[in-house]
Chains A and B, each alone.
Chain A
Amino acid sequence: MSNVASSLDTFPKLARANAGRWSRHVAIREKDLGIWQSYTWAQYFERSRRIALGLASLGFARGDKTAIVGDNRPELYWAALATQALGGVPVPLYQDSIEKELSYIVEHAEARFAVAEDQEQVDKLLHVRPQCSRLEFIVYDDTRGMRAYSEPGLLSLAELEERGEKFALGHPGYFDDAVARGGAEDTAVICYTSGTTGTPKGAMLSYRNLIEMARIATEREGLRPSDEALAYLPMAWVGDHMLSYAQAIVAGFAINCPESAATVLNDLKEIGPTYFFAPPRIWENLLTNVMIRIEDAAWPKRRLTHFFLGLAQDLERCRLNGQPPPLLPRLLAPLGRLLVCGPLRDNLGLRRIRIAYTAGEALGPEIFVFFRALGINVKQLYGMTEASVFVAVQKDGDVRLDTVGTPMPQVEIKISQSGEVLFRSPGVFQGYFKNPEATRQTVEDGWIHSGDAGFMDHAGHLKIIDRAKDLGRLADGTMFAPKYLENKLKFSPYVKEAVALGAGRPYVTALINIDLGSVGNWAERRGIAYTSYTDLSQKPEVYDLIQQEVVRVNRSLAVEDEVLRGAQIRKFLILHKELDPDDEEITRTRKVRRGFVAQKYAPLIEALYGDRDRVAVEAQVTYEDGRTGTIRADVVIRVVVRAAAAGEASL
């Protein structure tokens, strides 16, 4: 049943209602000058109103776009709401975008206005302004360093709000009229997807899309106004837009903006959110930090911790597989919670979590079990920008290791002939902005082609195998699912990124990025000195370490999967530099751009399929300030023994 038929069918209207019924309830917090500053719903709405009036005074017209770029800040969320109140569309951008990306999106979106967090973002915008024909006004929030700037159309948020006040005097009722004219089918936001292939596409999501899905998810997952969430994921990512903006406004819970990217884990501890959303790399990071610190503890504590962690994980595995847990572990579990699991959870800042999601990529089963064993309700979520996030989510009490969950209410899922996952829901987007061709390719009769290959299992859970177009075959016809292999490799704490290759080739090979933090730590413990990432990556001891991981993956393939057994990794090499979004090798949400990587590292790949055991290589890198440089290395190639399945002789 559509609740959007009610009069609160846009975010400005919902926010106004919140300001009325929850006026003194905290809506958003920001850590400023070391102290958490709170803003109530009344203040949230009022500031947005002032910003909207300011924009109106500059001539903001219905349908205008505002580019929003910066870290998560209340002012930027208010700017989004202000834009929507005037019938415009906010276009959030990744704060670490390089100028090329920025100019493409700002120009493509035809943005007339931009709201930037600070001097860094303003500088980038000013540089790309010549290429952005329609960009007229740049508003900035943080005035630090901005004194000497005198460019036309550049003004501070404070100045904007002042202009807004004067405008309001001359145009009473302007704001309320503008809000009243908004409707459910208007475009609420354009989220540019970073695109693993080609240029970014702007997915247009309507108010109906976002509000419906937010309501559905809120009801199904039981979110309440008393919940607390941490707004730390990029505002440009639809996940943050749904969680920190759409759901917060719909459900009324408070969001908290960390002080800076460097302080996120610390702020997580201070806030203790009840609702948490993190991509796998954050979970991996948290786990790595914990394990490193456990290794540093005195041996009695270490023994105790490992014992109770092991116990808790065994219990959790039983629970996930639906088996009754054995008696002794069950009796000891409360002691484990008291001594180890509880304090660890508290230390991570995850003590109060009622609902936590992992989404975007597959999370390693060991990591998944680890956090659940600690008592953190982590669940898989499957979704995409074009669906307004939610497609399938594991329900409380129905969590399984290797699935991505059951379909959300009002989401229909079907599997096409070729094994591709298709879905239909109220959250299906309006289309790609100015790109009807891409829209046609993605949506057919209201069904979205997800591009993922998967199937529904007997329990009604969705299982994803790989990206449909990446699913390939080796030269001899053996099925090869690169993402599946890469995920298995990445389950190791020492592997940060992996690219599996083999389509049309005689065997599977892998390019691997080591994780500098964990491998560096490992090397230091063994007295292996290293000078840089490149140096560490080529150490023979590190190669041995990674070889063990590759052997582990091969063994698990041999044992688990009939179909994929033939796709074991024959050779691998460790890349001398990390794959980086700035070098366009991976997207900002860390999805590998296969075509680009295959092209850029062609000499390495050729060597992998040849018979050399090392290859000299040079790579272009882009430093953070935009300069380019070259890294040279002599990369080693290792051959891995194929693991035998039960009853087979090994090769």
Chain B
Amino acid sequence: MLAIDGISVRFGALLALNRVSLTIPRGEICAIIGPNGAGKTTLLNCISGFYHPYEGHIRFEGAERTRLRPPEVAQLGIARTFQNVALFRGMSVLDNIMTGRVLRMRGSFLLEALWWGPARRQEMEHRAFVERIIDFLEIQAIRKTPAGRLPYGLQKRVELARALAAEPQLLLLDEPMAGMNVEEKEDMCRFILDVNDEFGTTIALIEHDMGVVMDISDRVAVLDYGRKIADGAPDKVRADAAVIAAYLGEER
């Protein structure tokens, strides 16, 4: 589904990504791991069109997509969550998730302003869809709470909900379990697995918790200083010498 071919990203003299290639087949959960500063978020930013690599190609569904801008990438069916939660703090959870539906909203300004006819019907359809997501992620109790007032773990869940609201084919998750305790992590894992299982969504996730990564991913890619040093099934990567030296640590 997603084929990244030798992309490089440079910030001045700093080479953030150095000829990184990665393929993510449809329906898989691919984890991207690596020490801090390895270029993982940069990679996601490239996929979502926020950065453009100066060399290499990104192909989505077979078509060349390297130089797209974020709105166009979103139209393709790629949604993402952010490392530091990027919700609208003053808006309620429900409204935040509704913003994920924006791409599918079609309507005239006048009809929406008058709350009449097709505008009303559309709003109800979107609301029903968002409610199903709220039910799916079990956040009914906070649907009217302003997002800024929620604890961190719940904010992350709302972010996931917003990404799901866009009905993505590819979901990019940037450290979805950062700052969560064991129970919350297990809940998040369950949701991610459910999303992959029930909707068939392909998922690329950046994560530091090795337990989570090994448990839920179908394949793992390891980045270190902008280069990909390993790629494959979790067990194979866990045993890879280069990965152990760079990231997983050695026994002394």
Contact = CB atoms under 8 A, between A and B. Distances in A.
Interface string B187-222: 000000010011000000000000000000000000
B140 A144 contact: no
B136 A262 contact: no
Contacts of A147: 197-198
B140 A259 contact: yes
A33 B135 CA distance: 7
Contacts of B134: 33-34
Nearest to B131: A33
Contacts of B94: 34
Q: Bin the interface of chain B by size.
A: 10 to 19
Contacts of A263: 140-141
A172 interface: no
A649 interface: no
A260 B127 CA distance: 19
Interface string A491-520: 000000000000000000000000000000
B26 interface: no
Contacts, number: 31
Interface string A57-79: 00000000000000000000000
A148 interface: yes
B140 A260 contact: yes
B136 A144 contact: yes
A266 interface: yes
A35 B135 CA distance: 12
A130 interface: no
Contacts of A35: 131
A262 B132 contact: no
Nearest to B190: A145
A263 to B, nearest CB: 5
Nearest to B198: A147
A33 B132 contact: yes
Contacts of A260: 138, 140-141
A142 B143 CA distance: 21
B249 to A, nearest CB: 26
Given A144-B136, A145-B194, A147-B198, A33 B128 contact: yes
Contacts of B198: 144-145, 147
B143 to A, nearest CB: 7
A375 to B, nearest CB: 27
A33 B134 CA distance: 8
Most buried by A among B131, B134, B135, B138: B135
A148 B194 CA distance: 11
Interface string A248-285: 00000000000110110010000000000000000000
Nearest to A623: B183
Contacts of B138: 260
Contact of B143 (A34, A145, A624): A34
Interface in A143-202: 144-145, 147-148
B137 to A, nearest CB: 11
Nearest to A264: B141
A145 B141 CA distance: 21
A34 B131 contact: yes
A34 B131 CA distance: 6
A145 B196 CA distance: 11
Contacts of B131: 33-35
A36 to B, nearest CB: 13
Contacts of B128: 33
A238 B142 CA distance: 31
B127 to A, nearest CB: 8
Contacts of B197: 147-148
Contacts of A262: 140-141
Contacts of B132: 33
Nearest to A33: B131
A35 B124 CA distance: 11
A147 B135 CA distance: 17
Nearest to A142: B135
A508 to B, nearest CB: 38
Interface in B35-82: none
A34 B135 CA distance: 9
Interface string A29-63: 00001110000000000000000000000000000
Contacts of A145: 194, 198
Interface string B120-135: 0000000110011011
A260 B139 CA distance: 10
B248 to A, nearest CB: 26
A394 to B, nearest CB: 34
A33 B132 CA distance: 6
A133 B138 CA distance: 34
Contact of A34 (B136, B140, B183, B194): B140
Contacts of B141: 259-260, 262-263, 266
A535 to B, nearest CB: 16
A259 B131 CA distance: 12
A145 to B, nearest CB: 6
Interface in B199-252: none
Contacts of A266: 141
A34 B93 CA distance: 13
A148 B198 CA distance: 10
By Cβ-Cβ distance, the 3 closest A-B pairs, closest first, are A262-B141, A33-B131, A34-B131
6 contacts: A33-B128, A34-B94, A34-B131, A145-B198, A263-B141, A266-B141
Interface of A: 33-35, 144-145, 147-148, 259-260, 262-263, 266, 624
Interface of B: 94, 127-128, 131-132, 134-136, 138, 140-141, 143, 183, 194, 197-198
Given A34-B140, A34-B143, A259-B141, 8 more contacts: A34-B127, A34-B131, A34-B134, A144-B136, A145-B198, A147-B197, A263-B141, A266-B141
